[in-house]
């Protein structure tokens, strides 16, 4: 995930920059809370700003959170906190987010905006590799089947391992959203025409998408928002 900052994906997956901007300007930005705009602006200065969740995908995530009345959630891959703040703004006052990232510096970059939004009390940030935290959560049987929602936006190589653990942590009817499941559109490109830095992610994503399509423990929907998200509902 290192050098994606220079990758020309600013139009997302759509046919043209104009169309993507139309979607953002018409449906997304007018509804985006001011604090999320502020966090987006702050993140734009970061050399890896491209890692932040796309606002159109974020809007879909907020809708899902409301639809299932999510209260207890987990996030793998926080970066500066766009999806985290979005989740914290959407869940109820007594909602809780277990937010995991190996990097605390980027979380701290966005933290003043999270504090300003008055939602820090909903967040339990854990600096750690995510697999370790998921395994620890599973050791306590009370956590099993207790989470309403999970958002996964981290190392693609581990998505399947996260999936096996999240499946056990999630309630029946709970939702997992995976980000970047169309990987800059490269999943449908020949390997030879894929940029070198995108090749490993392309292969992991192709394999993971195939796996999800065959996983009958979940109802799924592949949505071409942002860089592609896959919505999985535990059956």
Give residues in contact with ligand SAM (CB under 6 A).
51-53, 77-80, 82-83, 100-103, 106, 129-130, 153-155, 158
Element housing 63 (H / E): helix 55-67
Locate 93 and state its tokens: 């006052």
Count CB neighbours of 161 within 10 A: 14
User: Three-state SS string across 8-29, please?
Assistant: CCCCCCCCCHHHHHHHHHHHHH
Cβ-based nearer residue to ligand SAM, 113 or 130: 130
Helix count and strand count (H, E) for the chain: 8, 7
CB-nearer residue toward ligand SAM: 79 or 184: 79
Which among Ca ion, ligand SAM, none contacts residue 177 (Cβ within 5 to 8 A by kind)? Answer: none
Identify what 83 binds: ligand SAM, Ca ion, none; CB under 5 to 8 Å per kind. Answer: ligand SAM
Tokens representing 82 are 């766009």
Q: Which is nearer to ligand SAM, 42 or 154 (CB)?
A: 154
Is position 101 an interface residue for Ca ion (rule: CB under 5 A)?
no
Q: How far is CA 84 from CA 78, 81, 110, 181, in A?
A: 6, 5, 10, 19
Rounded-to-integer distance, Cα 81 and Cα 84, Å: 5
**185 touches, from ligand SAM, Ca ion, none (C-beta below 5 to 8 Å by class):** none
**Beta carbon nearer to Ca ion, 95 or 226:** 226
Cα separation, 123 vs 105, in Å, equals 16
Of the two residues 23 and 138, which places its CB atom closer to Ca ion in the complex?
23
Site for Ca ion in 138-197 (CB under 5 A): 153, 179-180
Using CB under 5 A, count the residues that bind Ca ion. Answer: 3
- 182 touches which of Ca ion, ligand SAM, none (CB within 5 to 8 A by kind)? none
Q: Which residues bind Ca ion (CB under 5 A)?
A: 153, 179-180
């Amino acid at each position: 995930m290192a050098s994606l900052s220079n990758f020309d994906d600013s139009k997302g997956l759509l046919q043209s920059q104009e169309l993507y901007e139309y979607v953002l300007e018409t449906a997304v930005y007018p509804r985006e809370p001011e604090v999320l705009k502020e966090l987006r602006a702050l993140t734009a200065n970061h050399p890896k700003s491209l890692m932040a969740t796309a606002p159109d995908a974020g809007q879909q995530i907020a809708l899902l959170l409301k639809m299932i009345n999510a209260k207890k959630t987990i996030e793998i891959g926080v970066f500066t906190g766009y999806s985290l703040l979005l989740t914290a703004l959407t869940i109820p006052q007594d909602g809780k987010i277990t937010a995991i990232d190996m990097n605390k510096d980027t979380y701290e970059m966005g933290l003043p905006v999270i504090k300003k939004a008055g939602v820090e009390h909903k967040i339990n940030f854990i600096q750690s590799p995510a697999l370790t935290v998921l395994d620890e959560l599973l050791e306590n049987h009370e956590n099993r089947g207790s989470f309403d929602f999970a958002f996964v936006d981290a190392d693609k190589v581990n998505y399947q391992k996260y999936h096996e653990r999240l499946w056990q942590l999630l309630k029946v009817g709970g939702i997992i959203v995976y980000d970047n499941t169309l990987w800059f559109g490269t999943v449908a490109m020949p390997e030879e025409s894929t940029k070198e830095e995108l090749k490993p992610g392309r292969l992991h994503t192709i394999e993971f998408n195939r796996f999800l399509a065959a996983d009958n423990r979940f109802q799924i929907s592949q949505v071409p928002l942002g860089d592609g998200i896959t919505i999985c509902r535990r059956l």
